[in-house]
Amino acid sequence: MPSVVLIGAQWGDEGKGKVTDFLAQKADIVVRYQGGNNAGHTVVVNDDEFKLHLIPSGILYPDKVCIIGNGVVIDPAVLIRELEYLAGRGINTDNLRISERAHIIMPYHKKLDEVIEESKGDAKIGTTKRGIGPAYMDKAGRVGIRFVDLLDRDEFMALLERNLKDKNDLLTKVYGAEGFEKDTIAEEYLGYAERLRKYAADTSIIIHDALKAGKNVLFEGAQGTLLDLDHGTYPYVTSSHPIAGAACIGAGLGPTEINKVVGVVKAYTTRVGAGPFPTELDDETGAHLRDRGHEFGTTTGRPRRCGWFDAVITRYAVRVSGLSGLAVTKLDVLTGMETLKICTGYRRGSQIIRDFPASLKVLAECEPVYEEMPGWKEDISTARKFTDLPPAAQNYLNRISELSGASISIIGVGTRRSQTIVKETLF
CB of 239 to ligand IMO, least distance (A): 6
How many chain residues bind ligand IMO (CB under 6 A)?
23
As a residue count, the chain comes to: 427
Options 223, 279, 321, 329; binder of ligand IMO; rule CB under 6 A: 223
- 288 among known catalytic residues: no
Q: Which is nearer to ligand IMO, 210 or 333 (CB)?
A: 333
Q: Which does 130 bind (CB under 5 to 8 A by kind): Mg ion, ligand GDP, ligand IMO, none?
A: ligand IMO
Tell me how far apart the alpha carbons of residues 67 and 247 are, in angstroms, rounded to a whole number.
Answer: 12
CA–CA gap between residue 359 and residue 167 (Å, rounded)? 33
From ligand IMO, Mg ion, ligand GDP, none, interface partner of 273 (C-beta below 5 to 8 A by class): ligand IMO
Residue 386 to residue 401: CA distance in whole angstroms:
14
Q: Is 254 exposed, middle or buried (0-12, 13-18, 19+ CB in 10 A)?
A: exposed
Residue 235 vs 374, nearer CB to ligand IMO: 235
Residue 238 makes contact with ligand IMO by CB under 6 A: yes
15 binds, among ligand GDP, ligand IMO, Mg ion, none (CB under 5 to 8 A by kind): ligand GDP
Check residue 222 for interaction with ligand IMO (CB under 6 A). yes
H/E element, 220: strand 217-220
Q: Which does 44 bind (CB under 5 to 8 A by kind): ligand IMO, Mg ion, ligand GDP, none?
A: ligand GDP
Q: How distant, in Å, are the alpha carbons of 2, 3, 68, 209, 253 from that of 212? A: 10, 11, 20, 5, 12
Interface residue with Mg ion among 2, 9, 10, 13 (CB under 5 A) is 13
128 binds ligand IMO (CB under 6 A): yes
Q: How far apart are CA 412 and CA 331, in angstroms?
A: 6
Nearer to ligand GDP among residue 19 and residue 363 (C-beta): 19
Residue 103 is a catalytic residue: no
Nearer to ligand IMO, 23 or 227 (CB): 227
- Side-chain-facing half-sphere of 371: CA atoms under 13 Å: 14
Instruction: Give the residue, chosen from 15, 56, 133, 275, that forms a contact with ligand GDP under the rule CB under 6 A.
Output: 15
Tell the smallest beta-carbon distance from residue 117 to ligand IMO (Å). 9
Q: Examine residue 307 and tell whether it contacts ligand IMO (CB under 6 A).
A: no
Per CB under 6 A, 329 contacts ligand GDP:
yes
Q: Report the C-alpha gap between 162 and 110 in whole angstroms.
A: 18
- Give CA–CA dist 357/338, Å, rounded: 31
Q: Which of 3, 7, 10, 17 binds ligand GDP (CB under 6 A)?
A: 17
Q: Which amino acid is at 73?
A: V
Q: How far is the CB of 297 from ligand IMO (least distance, A)?
A: 7
Query: Using an 8 Å Cβ cutoff, are 90 and 97 in contact?
Result: no
Cβ neighbours of residue 413 closer than 8 Å, sequence gap 6 or more: 331, 332, 380, 381, 382, 383, 419, 420, 421
Q: What is the DSSP string of 95-125?
A: TEEEETTPEEPPHHHHHHHHHHHHHTGGG--
Q: Is 40 in the site for Mg ion (CB under 5 A)?
A: yes
Decide if residue 13 touches ligand IMO (CB under 6 A): yes
Q: Which of 13, 28, 149, 332 is catalytic?
A: 13
- CA 352/CA 375 separation, integer angstroms: 26
Of 21, 28, 41, 149, which one is the catalytic site residue?
41
Taking the complex as a whole, how short is the minimal distance between the CB of residue 242 and ligand GDP, in angstroms?
Answer: 10
Binding site for Mg ion (CB under 5 A): 13, 40, 298
- Catalytic residue ranges: 13, 41
Binding site for ligand GDP (CB under 6 A): 8, 12-18, 39-42, 44, 298, 329-330, 332-333, 412-415
